């Protein structure tokens, strides 16, 4: 990639509190995932600390992977009780009593299902970083396609680990609504990324300059392979932006 992708910082007001609803806990875990923060894993009764990352979040559990040092995998499987915390630029999360549901693997790479906690201590000052798609890349066809009765494709403006913003050339009145769910979406960035996911339109507005529809789309359910591809892509462009 000849030019690094630009980063858009999305600020939010400071917020430090205990989250005790499933909706708020899921939102917090997704923010940690989307910010690509390291989790600090501590097994009760041991002084050893391990690092890991959140791979994905569902309504029932969340997935962690990349446990380091590697003996943490054995320690996690044997643990009766452990805690997880994450700290980033203006963000903090703490789960006092995490529960391992099961271990799994995909193509020989292990990951673990952790039960959705009932309570999370959270402090959030920033949302996930969004990365602008450069003109050179977008001109090659960086797009998202929403599949329903008829497929609709739009050009990706920016992307994060949790979703993207895309522009659609559609006639008014707009044939979408907030929180509209699409069971099948495809993101294609030629020679860089191709993934499939379920998606939800979280917000939309008209670009009055060119009469197009701009949508904010959350990428919700996707398989582990595609989630890892998206995470790797975001990590790569984040490094490129940091070195610019």
Say whether both 143 and 113 belong to one domain: no
What is the predicted pLDDT for the residue at 209?
75
What is the predicted pLDDT for the residue at 4?
37
- For residue 152, the cross-strand partners are 146
* Runs of H (alpha helix) within the chain: 22-34, 71-78, 135-139, 224-242
What is the predicted pLDDT for the residue at 150?
77
What is the predicted pLDDT for the residue at 5?
42
Last residue of a domain, one of 73, 101, 126: 126
Last residue of a domain, one of 126, 146, 177: 126
Q: Does residue 88 lie in a domain region?
A: yes
Residues (pLDDT < 50) of the chain are 1-14, 126
Interatomic CA distance for residues 115 and 25, integer angstroms: 11
Last residue of a domain, one of 78, 105, 126: 126
Interatomic CA distance for residues 166 and 143, integer angstroms: 8
126-151 residue pLDDT tens: 455 667 766 666 667 789 999 876 78
What is the predicted pLDDT for the residue at 149?
66
What is the predicted pLDDT for the residue at 222?
93
What is the predicted pLDDT for the residue at 82?
96
- Domain housing 213: 130-242
């Amino acid at each position: 990639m000849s030019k690094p992708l630009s980063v858009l910082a999305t600020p939010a007001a400071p917020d430090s509190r205990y989250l005790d609803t499933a909706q708020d806990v899921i939102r917090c875990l997704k923010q940690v995932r989307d910010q690509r923060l390291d989790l600090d894993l501590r097994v009760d009764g041991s002084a050893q600390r391990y690092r890991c990352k959140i791979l994905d979040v569902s309504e029932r559990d969340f997935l962690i992977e990349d446990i380091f040092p590697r003996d943490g995998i054995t320690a996690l499987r044997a643990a009766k009780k452990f805690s997880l915390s994450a700290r980033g630029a203006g963000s903090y999360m703490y789960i006092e009593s995490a529960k391992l549901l099961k271990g799994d693997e995909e193509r020989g790479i292990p990951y673990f299902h952790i039960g959705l906690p009932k309570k999370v201590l959270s402090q959030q000052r920033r949302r996930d970083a969004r990365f602008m798609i450069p003109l050179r890349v977008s001109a090659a066809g960086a797009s998202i396609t929403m599949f329903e009765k008829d497929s609709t494709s739009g050009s990706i403006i920016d992307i994060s680990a949790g979703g993207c913003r895309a522009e659609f050339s559609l006639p008014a009145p707009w044939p979408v609504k907030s929180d509209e769910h699409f069971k099948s979406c495809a993101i294609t960035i030629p020679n860089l990324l191709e993934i499939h996911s379920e998606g939800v339109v979280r917000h939309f507005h008209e670009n009055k300059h060119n009469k197009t529809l701009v949508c904010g789309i959350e990428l919700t359910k996707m398989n582990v392979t595609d989630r890892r591809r998206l995470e790797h892509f975001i990590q790569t462009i984040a490094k490129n932006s940091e070195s610019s």
